[in-house]
Amino acid sequence: MDATKRDWLKERHRFTEWMGTPDASSNRPLRKVALDAADLPGWSLDRVKRDSLTGGVERNSSFWRREGGGVAVRIDLYECASSAAAREYLIDALGEFESGGMARRTDGLFGEVSFGDDRVALFIRANVVAAVRNIERAVVPVSPVAQAVDAAIVRQQLRGAE
């Protein structure tokens, strides 16, 4: 990302307030993080794509449909090298939102740091940046989905620690 834009985003989103990472012992980097159908009850997995982005970020994009309905959400998991790298990548992610009203969430429902509202969620858990977005006209609240995604990441983190 352009340095001017990065600096502007860091200032606007008060990066210094959330740049610190949790205790390293509870934040081991996850590798090959992914979701499966059991992680999102009530949703069916439509398709998955994996690709590599610049900066060594691995992306897992999954598209989900609500069972019995046409509503769809997209969940992107951006796997970074470390928790600190994920915090930097969250700035990149915020740079993909054109709205001047994108704001930090303080409800603590999901993630270590989170942004958005009930229609789009962007958060960090360990070395993973997650984005949950509506992709069809019929908009569904994404907070429950984001909570389920966060829980799935935590489970994978715990499994990795065993």
Partner 1 sequence: MIYLDTIAFNHDPTGATHDAINLRKNATQWIPVPEWRRGVSLKPEDSLAAYAAGQVGSNVVTIQVSLSSSDPGTHSTHVRAIDGVIYPPPPSGCGCLGWLLSLLQDLIRALFGNLLGDVQGRLVTFTNGQSGPILFNLVHTKLSTAAVGPHGTKWRWQFRTGHSGAWQDFQVSEHRIYALLDLPTAPWQQSPYQQSNTQLPWTDVLEYACRWAIGARTAVDAAAGVTRSVFDLGPGTVTYDCPGGGSSHYSWGGFDCSAFLDRLGGGPGNGIYVNCSDCATFVSTFANAVGCDLWQSQMGYGFGLNPMLGIGSSVWQPCCHGDPFWSDSFSYHEVAWTGACTATEHVYDGCLQVDADTDPTAPPQTPQQPIDMVFGDPGDLTYRDRLAVPASRPSCAPQPGTRQRRAVS
- 10 Å CB burial of residue 99 (0-12, 13-18, 19+) is exposed
Interacting residue with partner 1 among 84, 95, 109, 144 (CB under 8 A): 95
* Chain residues 140-159 in contact with partner 1, contact rule CB under 8 A: none
Q: Does 50 bind partner 1 (CB under 8 A)?
A: no
Structure tokens at 116: 């958005």
Does the protein bind partner 1 through residue 67 (CB under 8 A)?
A: no
Residue 99 as a binder of partner 1 (CB under 8 A): the answer is yes
What separation in angstroms does the CA of 25 have from each of 35, 126, 127, 150? Answer: 23, 11, 13, 18
Q: Does 80 bind partner 1 (CB under 8 A)?
A: no
Which residue type occupies 73? V
Instruction: Give me 11's structure tokens.
Output: 């200032």
Looking only at Cα atoms, what is the longest distance across the chain?
46
- Residue 98, both tokens: 């054109």
Closer Cβ to partner 1, 32 or 137, answer by number: 137
Interior CA angle at 73 toward 71 and 74, to 5°?
155
Q: Say how many C-beta atoms besides its own lie within 10 A of residue 98's C-beta.
A: 6
Residue 18 or 97: the one with the smaller Cβ distance to partner 1 is 97
Q: Is 74 in the site for partner 1 (CB under 8 A)?
A: yes
Looking at 102, 104, 109, 147, which residue binds partner 1 (CB under 8 A)? Answer: 102
Footprint of partner 1 on this chain (CB under 8 A)? 2-5, 8-9, 12, 46, 51, 53-54, 57, 59, 63, 72, 74, 76, 95-102, 116-117, 119-120, 131, 133-137, 139
